[in-house]
Amino acid sequence: MAKNYRVAAIGFAHSHIDSNLKAFASCGDRVEFVAAADVKPRIPSVSGERGTRIDELREAVELYGFKKYDDYETLIEENRIDIALVCAENAFHPEVSEKLLRRGIHVVLEKPMAASMPGALRMARAARESGAKIITNWPTAWNPAVREAKAIVDSGEIGRIFKFCFRNSDSQGPLSYGQVITDTEKGREWWHQAGTGGGSMLDYCCYGACMSCWYTGKSPAAAYGLKANFDSPYGSAEDYAAITVRFPDAVALLEGSWTTVSGGVPAGPLLYGTGGTIVVKDGAVEIYKTRHTDKPDRVVSSAPLPAGRENLGKETLHHLDTGEPLFPMLDLPLNLAAMSILDAGSRSARSGKMELINDGVWCTGDDVCP
């Protein structure tokens, strides 16, 4: 008989908590929503507009019947929890996750894993020592075209991948989707605060960091990053970022922008191989193998996602039930690789120099989050 799971929601900073809760709600009676609490922000939010932490917590309690707590540590003490959905600020992921993991509570995070490599390694150690799982969600993981492109790459149809490109879709920031919110109010949201892990590098370059490691199947070696604040003077975090990543025999070009009205070109991912090019679009994958043409040689429709594993909630329960491997983008090894790119990109943006990738061997910084 399949096990039922008691689920808590901790941290409402990231607006993807909404879609993550919907995914677990789709599991029906196998999920019981128990309790919810936000993680205290460094600067209190004042806006309750759609997508803010105040709105997300209120909506979660109303829709799913969570018992609301003012303090997440009290929530942990007073409830039996199997799985915690964590959508706190990136910089708070290590502290919150470690407290959960060391109690044997599985953690399902919203991307990226953390704000720094030392923080991510702190989480990895807690998971390894406790035996509890840490799962990092990526919205792109549920795009069938992204998975279809990986199968084509692995088939060898376009040769060896030597370049990967990704930029986010058009965006003018996470609070620019119809919200009525002042610049002062935006500045009080964690997204625009560098110290909490806000900014477009961690928000958007992270997608390319994860997918570039997955598609190439290689470990990154070094990165050059830059950050700029073009149109968000009310915040300390960047609203534009780019990372160039060096792999042993490939390169990745990653871009994250909160200042784009229209990109004018496909966001990708774009995959360049020695024998062809792949353009990933919603619902289909375009394959170009003929030179000097703007028409694809072949268009592949995306196969549906595996039944019973088609969203974050079902994939998580399937993994916990069966022990079968997670989809790689959700699992720890790939997320540590992605975090190593983001960490090097952030260090490079500060130093102005290319920075070597630090992993569990070379990363010996302290466990204090930025």
Q: Alpha carbon 164 to chain centroid distance?
A: 18
Residue 277 lies in a domain: yes
The predicted pLDDT at position 369 comes to: 39
- pLDDT at position 1 is 62
CA 337 to CA 202: how far, in whole Å?
14
pLDDT of residue 282: 81
pLDDT, one tens digit per residue, over 154-186 is 999 999 999 999 998 889 999 999 999 999 999
Please report the pLDDT score of residue 362 as a whole number.
83
Is 365 among the domain residues? Answer: no
**The 3-state secondary structure of 58-114, one letter per residue:** HHHHHHHCCEEECCHHHHHHHCCCCEEEECCCHHHHHHHHHHHHCCCCEEEEECCCC
If asked whether residues 146 and 210 sit together in one domain, one would say: yes
Tens digit of each residue's pLDDT (9 = 90 or more) over 14-29: 999 999 999 999 999 9
Q: Please indicate, yes or no, whether residues 186 and 255 belong to a single structural domain of this protein.
A: yes
- How many CA atoms does the CB half-sphere of 211 hold within 13 Å? 33
CATH code, domain carrying 106: 3.40.50.720
- Both 347 and 293 in one domain: the answer is yes
Q: Which of 161, 201, 180, 140 is nearest to 343 (CA)?
A: 201
pLDDT digits (tens, 9 = 90+) for 21-78: 999 999 999 999 999 999 999 999 999 999 999 999 999 999 999 999 999 999 999 9
Instruction: Please tell me whether residues 129 and 164 are part of one structural domain.
Output: no
| 318 in any annotated domain | no
Q: How many CB atoms lie within 10 A of CB 182?
A: 11
Our count of domains for the chain comes to 2
Please check whether residue 214 lies inside any domain of the structure: yes
Cα separation of 1 and 30, whole Å? 11
Task: Give CA–CA dist 296/276, Å, rounded.
Answer: 10
Structure tokens at 255: 């871009």
- Report if residue 363 sits inside a domain: no
- Residue 130 maps to a domain: yes
The confidence band for 365, taking pLDDT boundaries of 50, 70 and 90, is: low
- Tell me: do 263 and 228 sit in the same domain: yes
> So what's the pLDDT on residue 366?
56
104 and 203 fall within a common domain = no
284 with 152, same domain: the answer is yes
The pLDDT of residue 370 is 36
Is residue 207, in this structure, part of any structural domain at all? Answer: yes
CA distance 144 to 142: 6
pLDDT, tens digit (0-9, with 9 covering 90-100), for 304-346 = 999 999 999 999 999 999 999 999 999 999 999 999 999 999 9
Encoded tokens for 186: 């935006």
Domain closes at, from 139, 162, 179:
139
pLDDT digits (tens, 9 = 90+) for 87-132: 999 999 999 999 999 999 999 999 999 999 999 999 999 999 999 9
pLDDT of residue 363: 80
* Domain around 200: 141-307+341-351
Residues 124 and 247 in one domain: no
Q: Of 139, 173, 190, which closes a domain?
A: 139
Terminal alpha carbon distance of the chain: 44
Q: Please state the rounded mean pLDDT for residues 186-213.
A: 97
Helix (H) or strand (E) holding 213: helix 206-216
The per-residue pLDDT for range 127-154, each reduced to its tens digit, is 999 999 999 999 999 999 999 999 999 9
Residues 6+ apart with CB under 8 A from 143: 280, 282, 302
Question: What does the alpha-carbon distance between residue 126 and residue 107 come to, in Å, rounded to a whole number?
Answer: 11
Residue 126 lies in a domain: yes
| Distance separating alpha carbons of residues 126 and 120, to the nearest angstrom | 10
CATH number of the domain that residue 263 is part of: 3.30.360.10
Q: What is the pTM of this model?
A: 0.96
**Mean pLDDT of all residues belonging to the chain:** 95
Query: Does residue 13 surpass a pLDDT of 90?
Result: yes
CA–CA dist 367, 210 (Å, integer): 23
What does the pLDDT average to over 254-274? 91
Tell me how far apart the alpha carbons of residues 314 and 20 are, in angstroms, rounded to a whole number.
11
Same-domain pairing of 183 and 99: no
Residue 122 shares a structural domain with residue 104: yes
Where does a domain end: 139, 174, 203? 139
Q: What angle do CA 147, 151, 157 make, to 5 degrees?
A: 135
SS3 content of the chain, % helix, strand, coil (to 5): 35, 20, 40
Residue 212 pLDDT grade (very low, low, confident, very high; cuts 50, 70, 90):
very high
158 and 174 fall within a common domain:
yes
Residues 234 and 105 in one domain: no
